């Protein structure tokens, strides 16, 4: 056999084999799970190849390649799973003219791969730029303090803005999270000083409130104590008055009984004269016992004294003394030794 003919035959079979391999590669396409492939026929959209084995017409049908930011160039498989974009810190100016750097994360998912490919040239880049502009628009209407304390509100507004804008791209924005908000260093130092002053103010307010409550509690306690003492003094005064009244009643009963016995002991006599005379004698005795008394004047008239002595005479005559005994003369004022 001619070696040249043999070489030409081998080259022919090799060429046929290569062509068959190319045709086989272009004909048989395996699509992974949760991905799709857009098939174009002669430059126009033909159908969507789902996951699994798919047969294409070689040189007539071809997959549509996409060129998106942060993805492999010429990618033909479109991922239908939820994805995220981690945005680097972006400068944002707040309403009070403070420049802050904000980084965020956007979670999104392709719901219509046809719109995602044919409605937007760079889907990922469009979402990134839309997120940056939306973040500047939302946080530009807020003060610095509000941007730091109202992250949930910022996330909700950004999600609504992105979801409305990407709906025609066949994309669903599920969540937007602002990770970090970094103010300038001088602003951060000022905020720390402000926070320290606010905490000191709150501590003083709480201390003053505690002192006020303590003063109120002490006043209430003193009030209750004063009321209790007044009630006790009132009860004590009432009991003392009742005791004095009982004592006076007992003394009156005793004097009444004594006068009754005196009246029984002196038949026909007047017990009043006897009682007055005894009280008069007791008064004289008490005046003579005083340390400051020098001269004692007896403010008693002679007729009264005689009547008193006459009463004593009648009392003595009733007990067995002689009726004709002369009454003693009335006592005259005399000077007592110091």
The residue that leads in pLDDT, 287 or 32, is 32
Query: Which pLDDT score is estimated for 271?
Result: 66
Tally Cβ neighbours within 10 Å of residue 172.
16
Alpha carbon 225 to its chain's center? 32
| Lowest mean pLDDT segment, chosen from 102-111, 259-268, 313-322 | 313-322
pLDDT confidence band for 75 (50 / 70 / 90): confident
H or E stretch covering 212: helix 185-265
User: Distance between CA 319 and CA 338 in Å, rounded?
Assistant: 39
The overall average pLDDT reported for the chain is 81
68, pLDDT greater than 50: yes
319, pLDDT greater than 60: no
The residue that leads in pLDDT, 257 or 215, is 215
- What six digits make up the tokens of 56? 């294409």
pLDDT per position as a tens digit, 234-293: 998 998 998 888 888 888 888 777 777 777 776 665 666 666 777 777 776 766 666 655
Query: Which pLDDT score is estimated for 257?
Result: 78
pLDDT per position as a tens digit, 156-175: 999 999 989 899 999 999 99
Query: Which pLDDT score is estimated for 301?
Result: 47
Whether the CB-CB separation of 131 and 162 falls below 8 Å is answered with: yes
SS3 337: coil
């Amino acid at each position: 056999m001619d070696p040249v003919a043999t070489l030409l035959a081998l080259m022919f079979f090799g060429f046929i084999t290569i062509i068959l391999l190319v045709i086989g590669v272009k004909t048989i396409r395996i699509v992974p799970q949760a991905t799709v492939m857009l098939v174009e026929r002669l430059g126009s959209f033909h159908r969507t190849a789902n996951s699994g084995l798919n047969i294409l017409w070689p040189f007539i049908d071809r997959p549509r390649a996409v060129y998106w930011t942060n993805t492999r160039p010429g990618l033909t498989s479109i991922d239908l799973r939820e994805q995220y974009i981690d945005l680097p810190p972006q400068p944002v100016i707040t309403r009070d003219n403070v420049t802050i750097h904000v980084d965020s994360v956007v979670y999104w998912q392709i719901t219509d791969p046809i719109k995602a490919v044919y409605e937007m040239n760079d889907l990922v880049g469009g979402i990134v730029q839309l997120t940056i502009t939306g973040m500047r628009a939302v946080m530009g209407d807020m003060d610095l303090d509000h941007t730091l304390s109202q992250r949930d509100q910022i996330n909700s507004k950004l999600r609504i803005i992105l979801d409305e804008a990407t709906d025609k791209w066949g994309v669903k924005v599920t969540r937007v999270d602002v990770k970090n908000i970094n103010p300038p260093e001088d602003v951060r130092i000022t905020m720390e000083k402000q926070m320290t002053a606010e905490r000191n103010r709150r501590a003083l307010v709480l201390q003053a409130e505690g002192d006020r409550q303590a003063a109120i509690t002490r006043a209430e306690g003193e009030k209750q104590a004063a009321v209790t003492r007044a009630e006790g003094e009132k009860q004590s005064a009432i009991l003392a008055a009742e005791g004095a009244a009982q004592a006076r009643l007992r003394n009156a009963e005793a004097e009444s009984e004594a006068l009754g016995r005196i009246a029984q002991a002196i038949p026909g006599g007047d017990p009043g004269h006897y009682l007055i005379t005894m009280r008069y004698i007791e008064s004289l005795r008490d005046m003579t016992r005083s340390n400051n008394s020098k001269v004692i004047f007896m403010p008693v008239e002679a007729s009264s004294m005689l009547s008193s002595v006459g009463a004593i005479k009648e009392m003595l005559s009733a007990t067995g003394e002689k009726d004709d005994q002369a009454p003693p003369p009335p006592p005259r004022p005399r000077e007592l030794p110091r």
